[in-house]
Chains A and B, each alone.
Chain A
Amino acid sequence: MPQRNVMQPSPDPVYILRGSSSPVTSLHFLPILTNTLLSGNQDGKVYVWDLKTRRIQQKINAHLDSVLQVEASPVADSLLTHGRDGYARIWRTGEAAFTCTDQIQVSSKGFCAAKMLPQTGKSYLIVLPGESSSVTVYDSSTKQLVRELVPPSTKLGMCMCMQPVLDSTGSAWGLLVGYESGSLLLWDVVSGKLLSELMLHSDAVMCFKYSSSANRGFSGSVDNQLLEWTISAENENKMSLIDKTVVTNQGFNDIVIRCDNKIVATAGWDSNVRVFSTKKLRPIALLSFHRGSVKALSFSCDGLLAAGSEDRLISVWDVYRS
């Protein structure tokens, strides 16, 4: 047999962030300040981590219950957090600390996280899960309800997760929503029209990510299948499945796509992070470190991967960056 390239041993995290008071539920690298990582915890706190010193820079008592979402606006001047206490809050950076400027009451008590939809300029929309299967769209500046996206069918169940669809200028024109039934719906946020629908999973869509630049989406459910799909712009925005792969253990908590669209990472219930090459959906690495289910992932714009887990640790990985 010819000598194959000797396989590199499985990588270790480059460092671990310790100090969370409870399981990590949400992670977000600030888009511009690459040395800052935000983490949301199950006790409602949001931490701002300085990756140079690897210490907590700031602790924000953001919510009274588990933080579902921490997300910064594209220019990083404001922050959206969403907790299970029923509030979505907007924070602005002051001299040193983030301060809460606005809050919106969320009618749904589910697990669907709020999402920022960037619009032209600095403005953005905020989408929140509404009653039953509906989604509410708010204007960030006026804090007013702009419109409500109500699906025609009531059999979809609750909203599970949402992702914007961006045009070439980076402003969102569409919204993808995954439902409890396993369906994925594409909405036009401007007109509030339902554009297309795709039955993805047999169980709830637990998490998905869509990259507008690559026109590829990846989704996971409670089973062991990772699906890849696309939106056809020519064919009336019809969505179709492209590929799927089966992983060893069931259950996905989070999926992230790196900015260059080359790799996808998934957070598993089995406490492992799996890395796939997007070209063929080929598994290329299994990042094992955590001792509890991995809840949240985030890629920095320079390719660092952070994973937050039930074991209160955040591991930072440096894979496939060169």
Chain B
Amino acid sequence: MEAQVRAVAREILNGIQLAADSDCKSQWLDAAVSLIVDSKNEKGLHPLLCHYDDIPIDHLKTIYKEHHYSRLCRKILDLLTIEWIQTAAGAVNRQIETIFLRGPPTYALLALDQALLSNSQGFRLQKVTVLLEQFIKNDRLKQVLWDQCHITSSSSVQSPADFHAGKAGLWDELIRAVSSLPDKIANKLGRETSDIFLPQNYVPLLGKYILECLQRCHDSLMKAQDCSLEFISRLLGKLCLKGFADILFDTLVPPLCVLVNKDYVLLVQNLIGYLASSQTRRHLYAKVLCDLLKVWGNASTLRHVSEEQHLFMCRVLMVSISHLQQADQKQRKHELVELLLPGVQAHLNSTNVNIRTRGMLVAQALTRTIDPEGQQIEFEIIRNREVEELEKLLVLPTDPGLTEIEHDDDLVAYDMSHDKPVTKVKTPVYIRDCMEEEFTKILLHSTESYGIPEFVLHRFKAMVALAVHCPSQVARYLSAQFYERNYNIRQRLDMLEVLATAAQELSQPEASTSKATSRWSPVRHTQAESTTNPETWQQIVQQRINSKTRRFIKGPSKPEPTPVPNRFGHVAGEFFFPLMRFYDKSESVFDLMGSDSLVLHRLVYTLAIILYAAINTTAASQMGKSLLEFTWGLRIHSDVSVRQAVLVATSMVLLVVPGHFLLTDLQMDIMETKEWLQMVLEKDVNTECRKLAMQALTLLDNTVAMDFIGCFFCHRIPTYIYRLSVFVPITLALLHIQVLSTSALTKMAFRSAVIAKPPAPGVGNKY
């Protein structure tokens, strides 16, 4: 049979090649077409081949298409001349198109690709590109892709490995052809390239075909038919290497995302699930988990990895934890715990709340899984969307096929979300029975176990209220406790935040101004009302009278604000100085200058805020001086957050301490500070630090300029101006006079920025 088909093929080729005239050629082409195209009305063989009628026609066609079609294509392309086409008018064109567009697309494409290479110009090249364009416009490429993925029933007897081996050579050639088509055409045709071959058109089209092909693969896999995705994956790889990745994935990713969400394909989860699902792959899964945990727990990774990468790592870890089985738990318990502990420590040391939270979450999940009966790490984790998303990953995705089986009994469960553990609540104590200091103590030690919504916020507010009510006692108590033993970091941070907030509250004048302003508003009131629709005649009359009445008002348009004593003034020192008392005292439990840099950073911030609250009080100068001395040693601290806090504190000193005091009593310190700030501006690695240094420098310059102007108008040039002129030229000061309004604005903006700096209470301090 094979031999006979070969004979047919040879006869057709010879016929086409050797035919005397174009009519004869055309008839042979017809014969070829009849073998390639499945036409329904034509039953028998073409008249030229009728002496082969002993071969079953279907067989003949199949074998011909599979083995001889490729050679036919090449032959036709070789023979293609302008004379042949012209003499035979339209018929040959149509026949050739039929052969190329309706035959097996893979071979047609390869033949065309080859012809493209061997012909540099002229009619044949033009014909080839036209055919290629037709080929693509007729969506034949889609068929090419699908043919490579689809394992036909005839080849299904082979193993997938055989299938791949058999196709390897063909695929190499095909991938080269498909991926380089735009380049080749552009090389040959230059500016005359058809739009369809431009990468921005061709690649998305290819993407669309790939997507459709994947969809078909999915469908046939659902019907338990084998598919191979190797070709597609190699093609994708090749296209990406060629630099089409962006265009390609713009087309592929959005629809894929939709499909993936719709259809239970969960990326990371699939991957880990695949590794964990089989005993033979299990060791790979364990290795992944351990390696990942090692990287995750590495303190230097934590410093250098971006937040998104960290989140991704945590996601993968959570998924991996969900796959841990009993056997692994016993076997690898020690290994995992050993990897986990340094990681937890590194995370808890982090100054970033998100990273801390994630660290706690992973640690909690892992210890729970490894040893459900043993002791477990329990953290107070702030619930947010990210936490919930990560926790969801702990639940293994259910196999959509299995859920049906679970409902074998017809009893559908009711909602049981109210099934909660019963907790016993202690009897409440009346607040009025508690002393201030005593109450602060209770609040400080109370943890969130009462199920009160927003407990932390309430506790915080209560403590601040206490501190405002009797500042002296509470401040003394809190600042003394700050350096005591037996407090956790959360409590220490609470102390700082309470002190800072209470200081701010105390320094605000009590709300008495609102009454005063309201007295001055009636005239404006009626004007405002006139815009609304008057309803009664009295109103209309009143309105007309108002509009015709002219009022003359003497005196100030706004009342002078009533001066009130600053409640913070006389207690500022009690808030401020005790907090700096023992900062260098190193204890085993609480090492401010060492590992507890998180507390240190909050401490410096708090001192800065208290100082700001003490603005315009008599103690401010002395406090500023102390703070400058205190932060001097922290200027080159290794932790970025501490450095930032120091910079903020420095700005505060410049802002709060009166200019003349800065430039007389603190002159040396300020000069040194300025040098340091300039150094930070030039050398610090952290952008935020540089920004803060910039602000501080601007403030310093402003202070000097303002003071200078003040002196200037008083005709009193103090001696220090001459000394200062070493580093603040007079010209600079004069320049500042011009831009005074602007810099005043900057100052205002900066004040509000600094006040906004500390995070909202109860957010940053949860452990």
Which A residues contact B (CB, under 8 angstroms)?
1-2, 5, 7-11, 247-249, 262-263, 270, 272, 277, 279-280, 282-286, 288, 319-320
Are B414's CB and A8's CB within 8 A? yes
In the bound complex, residues from chain B placing their C-beta under 8 Å from that of A247 are: 419
Residue in A closest to B423 when the chains form the complex, CB atoms: A249
**Cα(A173)–Cα(B408), bound, Å:** 34
Given contacts A9-B414, A10-B414, A284-B414, contact A248 B409 (CB under 8 A): no
Residue in B closest to A288 when the chains form the complex, CB atoms: B418
- CB interface residues, B 110-148, toward A, < 8 Å: none
In the bound complex, residues from chain A placing their C-beta under 8 Å from that of B419 are: 247-248, 272, 283, 286
Are B416's CB and A320's CB within 8 A? no
Q: How many A-B residue pairs have CB under 8 A?
A: 50
Are B412's CB and A284's CB within 8 A? yes
**In terms of DSSP, what is the predominant structure of the interface of chain A?**
loop
**Cα(A247)–Cα(B408), bound, Å:** 22
Question: In the complex, which range does the number of interface residues on chain B fall in?
Answer: 10 to 19
Residue of A7, A248, A283, A286 touching B421 (CB-CB under 8 A): A248
Question: Does B422 reach chain A (CB closer than 8 Å)?
Answer: yes
**Cα(A279)–Cα(B409), bound, Å:** 7
**Cα(A249)–Cα(B412), bound, Å:** 23
Closest 9 CB pairs of A and B: A284-B413, A285-B414, A286-B416, A7-B415, A277-B411, A270-B422, A279-B409, A286-B419, A248-B419
Given contacts A249-B422, A270-B422, contact A11 B414 (CB under 8 A): yes
Given contacts A2-B400, A248-B421, A249-B422, contact A283 B412 (CB under 8 A): no
**Cα(A312)–Cα(B416), bound, Å:** 25
Are B418's CB and A286's CB within 8 A? yes
Residue in A closest to B408 when the chains form the complex, CB atoms: A279
Q: What 1/0 flags go to B401-428 for Cβ under 8 Å of A?
A: 0000000110111111011111000000
In the bound complex, residues from chain B placing their C-beta under 8 Å from that of A9 are: 414-415
**Cα(A226)–Cα(B282), bound, Å:** 34
Are B409's CB and A262's CB within 8 A? yes
Chain A nearest CB from B90 CB (Å) reads 55
Residue of A1, A5, A263, A283 touching B416 (CB-CB under 8 A): A283
In the bound complex, residues from chain A placing their C-beta under 8 Å from that of B418 are: 10, 286, 288
In the bound complex, residues from chain B placing their C-beta under 8 Å from that of A1 are: 261
Chain B nearest CB from A301 CB (Å) reads 19
Residue of B411, B412, B414, B421 touching A263 (CB-CB under 8 A): B411
Residue of B400, B411, B420, B422 touching A284 (CB-CB under 8 A): B411
Given contacts A249-B422, A272-B419, A286-B419, contact A7 B408 (CB under 8 A): no
Are A8's CB and B411's CB within 8 A? no
In the bound complex, residues from chain B placing their C-beta under 8 Å from that of A248 are: 419-421
Are A7's CB and B413's CB within 8 A? yes
Given contacts A2-B400, A262-B409, contact A7 B422 (CB under 8 A): no
In the bound complex, residues from chain B placing their C-beta under 8 Å from that of A262 are: 409, 411
Residue in A closest to B415 when the chains form the complex, CB atoms: A7
In the bound complex, residues from chain A placing their C-beta under 8 Å from that of B420 are: 248
**Cα(A144)–Cα(B356), bound, Å:** 74
**Cα(A279)–Cα(B422), bound, Å:** 28
In the bound complex, residues from chain A placing their C-beta under 8 Å from that of B409 are: 262, 277, 279-280
**Cα(A33)–Cα(B620), bound, Å:** 89
In the bound complex, residues from chain B placing their C-beta under 8 Å from that of A284 are: 411-414
Chain A nearest CB from B199 CB (Å) reads 37
Chain B nearest CB from A14 CB (Å) reads 14
In the bound complex, residues from chain B placing their C-beta under 8 Å from that of A249 are: 421-422
Are A285's CB and B413's CB within 8 A? yes
Instruction: List 20 additional contacts besides A10-B414, A247-B419; criterion CB under 8 Å.
Output: A1-B261, A5-B412, A7-B415, A8-B414, A9-B414, A10-B418, A248-B420, A248-B421, A262-B409, A272-B419, A280-B409, A282-B413, A283-B419, A285-B414, A285-B416, A286-B414, A286-B416, A286-B418, A288-B418, A319-B414
Chain B nearest CB from A74 CB (Å) reads 28
Residue in B closest to A270 when the chains form the complex, CB atoms: B422
Are B415's CB and A10's CB within 8 A? yes
Are A320's CB and B411's CB within 8 A? yes
**Cα(A282)–Cα(B416), bound, Å:** 12
7 inter-chain pairs at a CB distance below 8 angstroms, sorted by A residue, are A7-B415, A8-B414, A249-B422, A283-B413, A284-B411, A285-B414, A319-B414
**Cα(A288)–Cα(B419), bound, Å:** 9
In the bound complex, residues from chain B placing their C-beta under 8 Å from that of A8 are: 412, 414-415
In the bound complex, residues from chain A placing their C-beta under 8 Å from that of B416 are: 10, 283, 285-286
In the bound complex, residues from chain A placing their C-beta under 8 Å from that of B408 are: 279
**Cα(A247)–Cα(B416), bound, Å:** 12
In the bound complex, residues from chain A placing their C-beta under 8 Å from that of B422 are: 249, 270
Chain B nearest CB from A246 CB (Å) reads 11
In the bound complex, residues from chain A placing their C-beta under 8 Å from that of B412 are: 5, 8, 284
**Cα(A281)–Cα(B227), bound, Å:** 42
Residue in B closest to A248 when the chains form the complex, CB atoms: B419
**Cα(A137)–Cα(B419), bound, Å:** 41
